[in-house]
Structure 1
Amino acid sequence: MSGPREASGVSGGGGQGPALDVLVVGAHPDDAEIGLGGTIARLATGGLRVGIVDLTDGEPTPYGDPQTRRKEAQQAAEILGAAQRLTLGLPNRYLRDTVEARRALAEVYRTLRPMVVFGLLPQDQHPDHLAAAEIALNARFYAKLTKTDMPGDPYYPPLLFRYATSHLRRVLLPSAVVDISSAFQRKLKAVLAYQSQFGWRKEELVDRLTTTAKFYGGKIGVAYGEPIFSPEELPIWDPVHLLPP
């Protein structure tokens, strides 16, 4: 298994405080954009450092090649304003929740020390997505281990959320819905940066993403929304933030 490759952005991990505020974990390039692109864009616009880690490079696929996918992933990350993008080089199509996979992602957690991690939902029909959901969760535990040869100090990301992609076949009740009305067009632009994957069905994809975003946005009275899911109770550190803006 190869080590992490940086696809875009700048390296982090040194200095005081977290290198990243938020880390989004996907199985493949385009997972983060499809499921959480609007939220990523809004967080970045708000001044937070957001990173994306793709567990695999998404290849082989019927369309494209590794070099093209890396270029598209970099462009998509830049559109959303992500500070960093990494690829762990785990096997596409055969992704598994192994000790090696957990350690690889745990090392990223320990190095970049995000306050919030977003992983995929385990209620997903894509085997790679299912494995990625488990890896994101279990790496959180591995990252806090002491007496290990993993680089970095022990670290436990305080918050873990889940996000949904296109392989979720039933509507689940989200823990919250993010208003992405101001960032929805950037989300679409980032997704469509993957020309090798979606160029031939652009209209279908835009229609599906728009319908989904309108559905969730309607739940909270806004134009477009993205659902997020929490496997744990949601902490409210300051009840003042319960009030609408």
Structure 2
Amino acid sequence: MTDVLIVVAHPDDAEIAMGMRMREHALTGDHVQVHCLSPGAPTPEGAEQRRSECLAAAALLGIAQYTFSRIPDNEFVERRVEINRELFRVFRERRPDIVYTHFPDDQHLDHRITADEVTTVALREADNLRYFRSPYSHAFEPTEVFVGTPALLQSKAEALRCFASQQQLDMDTFMTLATVTHRQHVHHRVVERFPAGHTCAELFRTARTIQFAAHAEQEKAAS
């Protein structure tokens, strides 16, 4: 089992960027935790609604843990020390194998700071770090293309529908983007060789991957 940690600035950031990949990790048997730095609303009532939406989406996607900090929206600049402290706490609870977070070059300042602070902590506390593309990422060039299926895309859409408070979530737009996004980065001759039924994609950029030799024990025994 692989421990997967996804750190986001706001509720629904993870599902928008990588809902299919989250579902695939869960189906594979990986332990997936999403940690949201902000409650996503300025009032206790609003924060509780956003929390309930996250937990409903998590149930649909098979997410094992959905946890939260209390960094207010649009105050990430002033609270970087608090964010850093929170991240070290979260990382040390399970020591994740793979970490996903926002791409650092993003139009949303909360996303940028989240990416910077997660990078600082992840490079000390985890083996593998990947950035996902959000709608506000700038100059994003993927090094990893996760190609999903209509069933995974449907799971993503159902999860996003849980966020009823977010009227800007246009399902038709997200479904269309998922079916065409890889064609900007993958040559059509490669796309033509995709396995049948793999018709939609999410994009990632690898910050670091650590791989271990598979035959170390055999080599040790032979010596």
TM-score (norm 2): 0.82
2:110: which partner in 1?
Answer: 128
1:77: which partner in 2?
Answer: 58
- Alpha-carbon distance in structure 1 between the residues aligned to 2:87 and 2:210: 25
2:201: which partner in 1?
Answer: 225
Whichever structure has more helix as a proportion of its residues is 2
- Alpha-carbon distance in structure 2 between the residues aligned to 1:132 and 1:190: 23
- Note the 1:55-74 alignment, pairs <5 A: 55-60=37-42, 65-74=46-55
- Alpha-carbon distance in structure 1 between the residues aligned to 2:66 and 2:74: 21
Q: Indicate conservation of the 8 Å contact 1:55/1:89, yes or no.
A: yes
Q: Indicate conservation of the 8 Å contact 1:115/1:159, yes or no.
A: yes
Q: Tell me how far 1:117 sits from its aligned partner.
A: 0.4
1:180: which partner in 2?
Answer: 148
Q: Tell me how far 1:134 sits from its aligned partner.
A: 0.8
Amino acid at match of 1:66: A
1:23: which partner in 2?
Answer: 5
Q: Indicate conservation of the 8 Å contact 1:103/1:139, yes or no.
A: no
- Alpha-carbon distance in structure 1 between the residues aligned to 2:60 and 2:165: 17
- Alpha-carbon distance in structure 2 between the residues aligned to 1:236 and 1:21: 15
1:6: which partner in 2?
Answer: none
Matched, 1:138 2:106: no
Q: Indicate conservation of the 8 Å contact 2:130/2:207, yes or no.
A: yes
Aligned with residue 28 of structure 2, among 43, 46, 55: 46
- Note the 1:160-179 alignment, pairs <5 A: 160-170=129-139, 172-179=140-147
- Alpha-carbon distance in structure 1 between the residues aligned to 2:68 and 2:83: 12
2:127: which partner in 1?
Answer: 158
Q: Indicate conservation of the 8 Å contact 2:21/2:146, yes or no.
A: yes
1:197: which partner in 2?
Answer: 166
Q: Deviations over 1:21-44 (max 9, x none)?
A: 100010001000000111000010
Distance 1:167 1:78, change over 3 A: same
- Alpha-carbon distance in structure 1 between the residues aligned to 2:106 and 2:52: 27
- Alpha-carbon distance in structure 1 between the residues aligned to 2:132 and 2:70: 22
Amino acid at match of 1:44: A
- Alpha-carbon distance in structure 2 between the residues aligned to 1:197 and 1:185: 19
Q: Indicate conservation of the 8 Å contact 1:44/1:50, yes or no.
A: yes
Amino acid at match of 1:180: G
- Three-state SS of the structure 2 residue aligned to 1:231 is strand
- Three-state SS of the structure 1 residue aligned to 2:166 is helix
Q: Tell me how far 1:100 sits from its aligned partner.
A: 2.3
Q: Indicate conservation of the 8 Å contact 1:177/1:216, yes or no.
A: no
Matched, 1:113 2:95: yes
1:214: which partner in 2?
Answer: 179
2:70: which partner in 1?
Answer: 89
2:218: which partner in 1?
Answer: none
2:83: which partner in 1?
Answer: 101
Amino acid at match of 1:104: E
